[in-house]
Structure 1
Amino acid sequence: MFLDRMMSAVFYFNSLTIIIALLIISEIIYAFITKDRIQTLKRNNERLELHIMDTETEVVLLQTLSDILDAFNEEASLSDVLEKIAESVKNTFKEDTVVLQLIGESFKKCVLGKNVDIPEEILGGLILKPRPVLVNNTSSFSEYKYLAQQGVSSFIMTTLHYQSKITGVLGVFSFDNRVFTLKNLKLLRMVTGPTSLLVENTTLFEKTKVLSITDALTSVYNRRQFETIFDATLRDSKKGKNISVCMADIDYFKCYNDCNGHPAGDYALQKIAEIMKRSVKGSDIVARYGGEEFILLFPDTCKENAVHICETIREHIKAFKFPNEEAQPDGNLTISMGVSTYPEDGETKEELVKQADLAMYKAKELGRNKVLTP
């Protein structure tokens, strides 16, 4: 009887032990599963956050590219386009300085934020070995000490290309110890493609525009552009304001051209145009009217002052030593000029040009190398 009770007690104890052990194991398994689920949830959350960051980056990139492409239109100058591009990048890096700098003959620089001068050594290195650059501690690198001296703590920068040629750089510079990431650099690099194309197209457009309004030989305005400017000047002129016009013709130019050849004649035209441009005010207009004829426009200038400017031009041309000019009939290559003034000599473009032309031919008849008025 006692033995049966002992056996029952042992059985009960063993069963209780097994139950407790099973409960402990269950708790361990549940905790392990729960921890694993939590880790899985964390990993999924991290992936979601990264996906959201990537999506946000793509949205920013697309908006930046859209803004950059909107910068191009037929009326925009290269400076306007550069500023618009810099503004678009600045919208992404609001607290930093954006620098867009072209190099070579098209040199221009646009800075939004604190001024940054990019050292020639850095530019030269990027030209020789084009590469994107990410630096988060400029003071740790001797090659960036000049940037550090300017207060730049970190920066990202990449090059602009056109047909394998380096045309400029685009950089973002921090003065507040910002830690730039590879994502920031990737975004900047993706922006440089359309930026390079846009800058090149605008540059070509400006060159084409200049060619369409200037004389190819002398680089002064052509007749068509002069007449456009003259029309606008007359239209916008305030009542009581004078506008003076000068017609100028090189004396015995056919003789000079025949004796010395067309290259010498072209050189003479170029030098005379250069002398005229150097002698006039910033608001005055010099144009080649045709052949050896030039025409000058003097806004807000009375007849007396216009004649004074033309006399200075005439004297400079006479004093200049043109090749073999001693063979000219007068021993010098000279110019005859006629000046008319609005409104006393006429109120339309045609009247003023005609009066200036008549005065110029009068100067020819009276011995050439003169400035006369109607």
Structure 2
Amino acid sequence: MTSLILPTADGGTRQYRLSPAPRWTKPAAPITSRRAYAAAHVIPEVTADNTPGAPAQLDWDATMAYRHELWSYGLGVADAMDTAQRGMGLDWAATQQLIKRTGVEAASVAAGGNAATAGRSVRDLLSCGAGTDQLDIDSLPSGAAGVQAVLHAYREQIAVVSEAGPKVILMSSRALAKVASGPDDYLHVYSTLLREVDQPVILHWLGTMFDPALAGYWGSDDISQATETFLTLIRENADKVDGVKVSLLDAAHEVSLRAALPDGVRLYTGDDFNYPELIDGDGTRHSDALLGIFAAIYPAASAALQAYDDGEAAKGRAILDSTRELGKHIFSAPTFYYKTGIAFLSWLNGHQQGFQMVGGLHSGRSVVHLAQTFELADRAGLLKNPDHAAFRMSDFLRINGVAT
């Protein structure tokens, strides 16, 4: 059995012995008990600039292959989201290409004969974020003119997503958070957009732990007041809302919000700490999923959802629980660097040639943090080929000055 030397938080090292290779089974039919999207990361060209502020240059073959990997396990893909580094390295030019290319790939999967995706539409297989990140926030006008600029930016991005075929996710907007004077501005922008869309969308509420620039979203720093504004919007436009994705890392708030939603509006959990119990549910209601952590734990997530499909809820919950410690570690503060852990596991599992991220984000976590990511992934059975992963981990440690 393979072993290697890992660094410890106190500056020392210790020997770690890897577990046997995991055995996860792909679904033989589409998953039906829960609707689940894995929010996927992007893979840059290893020889690109990949420094802060540089235009994103993606390895399109590897980026698309990763999405096909997620689809092969019966999961949907949530693309062009914060996991794909929207606002943290992925510029609007690259984002448009990502949406268009992934739309083409999703259409090919929908037309194909994969047992895990049979009968699924492009909208079931793929949701993409529409936001306002093409705007220069520093040059936005104040007041009504700023709000109107935000509205036009949303429209531009919604058109790109709609033309490509995926389901639209209305992402939280840093620009709107800056120019909105209160709840009425949020209701005006979102209500206008919901009236204009042809198909129901997913509303996205992203907390400040993921993006500090979103403080006061929905017009208040008070979560209960913000929630009332959010619910007002949903109740008045329920026929245009497929579901809501809430990423506040507050399980009690999510359960309360879930119970208050109109019939037919889904709660897609974005809680990467408490997803096991939220997906499992309380016996009356459960959350569906739109999670960044699912891009890292997708074989286990698929197995858990297959168990729910088979009526084995206890087994499904146990599988999700077995990944919780890894999820909490990857999403530990500063939470917005969780993407680094997802890309690191992708590299360990051979899905990308190098441990690189656009905007230099591969430097967002310490060597010790990533060593712990490696160990927790191994314990959860999420290293596809332990020997290969250990080889890459050893190289990474040597390059970073850890004696192995």
TM range (shorter): under 0.3
What TM-score, normalized by structure 1, do the two folds share? 0.25
What TM-score, normalized by structure 2, do the two folds share? 0.24
- Larger relative helix fraction: 1
- Larger relative strand fraction: 1
Q: Higher RCO, 1 or 2 (CA under 8 Å, sep at least 6)?
A: 2
Larger Rg: 1
